[in-house]
Amino acid sequence: MANIKLSTMQLQLILVSMALATAAATTTTTHLQFYMHDIFTATADSPATGVTVAKGTAGLPGDPNVHFGDIHVIDDPLTEGPDPSSPAVGQVQGFEVFAVQQEISVMLSANIVFTAGKYNGSYLVVLGKDAFFDEVRELPVIGGSGRFRGATGYSLFTTHGFNDTTKNAVVKIDVYLRV
């Protein structure tokens, strides 16, 4: 029989490799999709779910009614489909700050709070730049709670519909998570 001699360093490398392989095997990837209804102008059917709490001074290119420094607070409904009457999933709660002077884009800090289904009581935290007029915006998922404790990943925001007069929007959100 061959005599096998392992150094301490070789043994440590083997143990670390085994630990990493085990950790990788227990990580799952989850894809979620839902629609956020961002309502800044109330109608008879739906109250406003976004409000301006601070007004900046310098108008932004493309829309003189939007200013560098504007701050909005949101508590937007989250549904399974783009129709506001589709089943509710939860709320997107947070704030957006117009922190870029050259374009209409915000720094978004939001909790995606689940109030129905198998994720009820859990939430995800999204933080990043949301350039409204880009076709798809990628924002990092930086954490979560409940079923999403320790989650990391990214979200893709795609505008499904936008009313230029009311500034109301429906945004499709795809979330890709590692939990």
Percent of the chain whose pLDDT exceeds 70: 88
Q: What is the pLDDT of residue 161?
A: 95
Residue 54 belongs to domain spanning = 28-178
Classify residue 11: in a domain, yes or no.
Answer: no
pLDDT in tens, 5-47: 667 767 677 776 766 666 555 678 899 999 999 999 998 888 9
Spatial neighbors of 130 by CB under 8 A, at least 6 apart, are 96, 105, 106, 107, 108, 137, 139, 157
- Whichever domain contains 38, its CATH number is 2.40.480.10
Question: Is residue 126 scored above 90 in pLDDT?
Answer: yes
**Least confident interval from 15-24, 101-110, 112-121, 151-160:** 15-24
